[in-house]
Amino acid sequence: MASPADPRTIAAAGGVVWRPAGDDGLEIAVVHRPRYDDWSLPKGKLDAGEHALAAACREVVEETGLDVVAGRRGPTTQYSVDGVPKHVDYWLMRCVGGSFAANDEVDELRWLAPDDAAALVTHDHDRLVITDAARTDVPREVELLLVRHGRAGSKQEFDGPDEQRPLDERGRRQARRLAEALSLFEPEAIATAPPLRCRATVEPLAETMGLGVHDRPEFGEACFADDPQAALTAVDRLLVPRAHPGVTVVCSQGGVIPAVLQALGVHGHGVRGLLPPAAKGSTWALGGRPGALVADYYRDFEPDPDAPSQA
């Protein structure tokens, strides 16, 4: 056990798995763990070198047998276990299939209305997460993954047209990690601004999902400078609620993404007038409409710093 003077943070992740029920209602999956004799949300510790989102989806599948699609972030809960600090990152996840079978970790699963689920779970921190999932002021799912291309070296050092500048080694690694992480949102369409580095950033994801990559010049810096409204209109259409949920991935550039986000009412660190961040290889997961918007920022999908180290 870690010493009190040098505690090791336990990093874990989980999911609030939900499905539609009744008239615009929902049910949430809660699980019984015989080892602890408690009712909780499915969760578990991160593996070595793992990002929390990947861990959350993996743990849900392992404990419930359900097929899920990642949605917006939920709260992060923090508490201690035998004096060691622990934090659990949650995501909302829509159930799209699969079936539960008792296993070594979970011997029972119940689908319950949020109030009933909150009453059944053993721990107060799970009630906090369930209450957040039942909110009606923001959506539970995202509709647009707005990606900035990966790193592509120096513009000054590239001998050729800037639109043909390729990803460098780090940029290619970012593209591979994006393919692993963004596939958890089950995108149905992938589009890109014209530069080669944008297309190369989402091609691994397209290959993973078996999708084509569509050209969307309005998301490139050149077209945006001439007609910014074209990109704003395109984003507005992508965020229109639809009967059949579906996620679109768009890879764009640093001269476009912050301005689009500000037009949606997203500001850097929540400070009005401050440009939102858009680091190379980053993703904004967006859903809903201005005033009721989900805007989750993923700086990168590198391993969680509190995850165990890889051997």
Domain with 51 in it: what CATH number? 3.90.79.10
- Which letter does DSSP use for residue 305 in this model? T
Residue 18 banded pLDDT, cuts 50, 70, 90:
very high
Res 2 pLDDT > 90: no
Res 1 pLDDT > 70: no
Determine, yes or no, domain membership for 138: no
Res 134 pLDDT > 90: yes
Q: Do 98 and 150 fall within a single domain?
A: no
Distance, CA of 252 to CA of 262 (rounded, Å) = 15
Q: Do 35 and 120 fall within a single domain?
A: yes
Phi/psi of residue 222, nearest 5 degrees: -65, -50
Q: Do 39 and 114 fall within a single domain?
A: yes
Determine, yes or no, domain membership for 1: no
Q: Do 58 and 186 fall within a single domain?
A: no
Last residue of a domain, one of 93, 112, 133: 133
Q: Given this model, what pLDDT does residue 244 score?
A: 77
Last residue of a domain, one of 133, 166, 185: 133
10 Å CB burial of residue 114 (0-12, 13-18, 19+) is buried
Q: Do 68 and 101 fall within a single domain?
A: yes
| Structural domain count, the chain | 2
Q: Do 170 and 270 fall within a single domain?
A: yes
Q: Do 244 and 207 fall within a single domain?
A: yes
Mean confidence (pLDDT) of the chain: 94
Res 311 pLDDT > 80: no
Q: Do 158 and 116 fall within a single domain?
A: no
Lowest mean pLDDT among 19-28, 91-100, 256-265, 294-303: 19-28
Please, which residues bridge with residue 97 across strands?
Answer: 67
Q: Do 227 and 121 fall within a single domain?
A: no
Determine, yes or no, domain membership for 311: no
Residue 7 banded pLDDT, cuts 50, 70, 90:
low
Q: Which residue range(s) make up the domain with 175?
A: 144-298
Q: Given this model, what pLDDT does residue 155 score?
A: 87
Distance, CA of 62 to CA of 78 (rounded, Å) = 23
Shortest CA distance to 153 belongs to which of 132, 142, 169? 169
Determine, yes or no, domain membership for 308: no
Q: Do 113 and 185 fall within a single domain?
A: no
Determine, yes or no, domain membership for 310: no
Determine, yes or no, domain membership for 227: yes
Please, which residues bridge with residue 146 across strands?
Answer: 250, 284
Determine, yes or no, domain membership for 281: yes
Determine, yes or no, domain membership for 307: no
Q: Do 277 and 184 fall within a single domain?
A: yes
Last residue of a domain, one of 133, 155, 170: 133
Q: Do 159 and 294 fall within a single domain?
A: yes
Kindly state the average pLDDT of the residues 171-193. Answer: 98
Predicted TM-score (pTM) of the model is: 0.94
Domain with 195 in it: what CATH number? 3.40.50.1240
